[in-house]
Amino acid sequence: MKYSLRHLTQYNYPQPVANSYNLACVTPRQLPYQQVIQTQLHVQPQPSELQQRIDYFGNTQHFIHLQSPHQQLAVTATSIVTVQARHNVLKIQDAVSVSQLQHHLASQHDPATLHAKLCLNASQLIPLLPEAKALITPLMVPGQNVLQLAQALNQLIFNEFEYDPEFSTVVTPLSEVIAHKRGVCQDFAQLAISCLRSVGIPARYISGYLETRPPAGQPRLVGADASHAWFAVFDPTLGWIDFDPTNNLLADEQHLTVAFGRDFADVVPLKGLLQGSGEHTLTVAVDVAPIAD
């Protein structure tokens, strides 16, 4: 599948602000199953400084500095991306057991394993909660491998938690999500990660997009798509395998990857600080459109 991506983040301020320092993480990743054909970042007004860097996890980040007074900041990322099928369902039977994975983590020190260990402990937004461990423990059965356990957890979250965009914000504690059994894709991804890490399985947070298809006979609404989030589980032979608990899927051609890290704090699309009033209005518009070959 080939897609055209457009992600607009726009801040409007009631009074002029100055010295706005921002970090953007909205450029899709080059991956074995995803090729970025072209990508561009447009900032309005013209920034005083714009620099690109690659972070520890391999994500592309842009540092944006606006020195002059301004009442609006608009950051637009446009890309063309090709995504191949991953056939992850076929890999589930080939995964290692939980005990084999834990032995590998304890005995190996190659770069891939060291990276996985960073996604094994509590992080800024994902504590290791007893409530999370209590969710996953009943799913662990003899003879089960790591990916079978992740798939069972994926299904449990889909079946028992309600998608509710009015319930949570980016700072809602995970404990509240568990207590009320509701949230959004970010919450469900971070819940799954907390569950898996609590039993010694490395899991990482993934930000990206999911192609949404309108009802039959209805046109696509430009800007109606949204950022999406899911999680991935580490297997020493298969690598990282992605699961989408919001939709009870293994990520495939409709999932477009932007960045991954320990949790949402590592991959915030746009964050920063400024000199002036803290009040603002935020507009986010995402468009994921398939391109015919």
Q: Which residue has the tokens 């690598």?
A: 239
pLDDT in tens, 138-189: 999 998 999 999 999 999 999 999 999 899 888 899 999 999 999 999 999 9
The pLDDT score that the predictor gives to residue 224 is 56
- The predicted pLDDT at position 134 comes to 97
DSSP string, 251-288: --TTEEEEEEESSGGGS-SEEEEEES----EEEEEEEE
Domains and CATH numbers, the chain: 2-83+268-291 (2.60.40.2250), 88-264 (3.10.620.30)
How much is the pLDDT for 278? Answer: 66
List average pLDDT for each run of 10 residues in the chain, which is 293 residues long. Answer: 94 91 96 96 96 96 95 96 90 93 95 95 95 97 95 97 90 94 95 97 96 73 74 96 94 93 96 83 91 79
Which of 22, 24, 30 has its CA nearest to residue 227? 24
CA-based radius of gyration for the chain: 20
**Which residues face 2 on adjacent strands?**
82, 291
User: What pLDDT does residue 171 have?
Assistant: 86
Residue 210's SS3 state is strand
Residue 254 in tokens: 């409709």
Axis-axis angle for helices 98-107, 146-160 (nearest 10): 120
Cα of 183 vs its chain's centroid, Å? 15
Classify residue 29 by its DSSP letter. P
HSE value, Cβ hemisphere, 13 Å, CA-based, for 121: 5
Is there a contact between 122 and 197 (Cβ–Cβ < 8 Å)? Answer: yes
Both ends of the chain: CA-CA distance in Å? 9
At residue 221, the pLDDT reads 56
- pTM of structure: 0.93
Task: Give the per-residue pLDDT at 110.
Answer: 95
Name the pairing type of β-strands 182-183 and 162-163: parallel
pLDDT digits (tens, 9 = 90+) for 120-148: 999 999 999 999 999 999 999 998 999 99
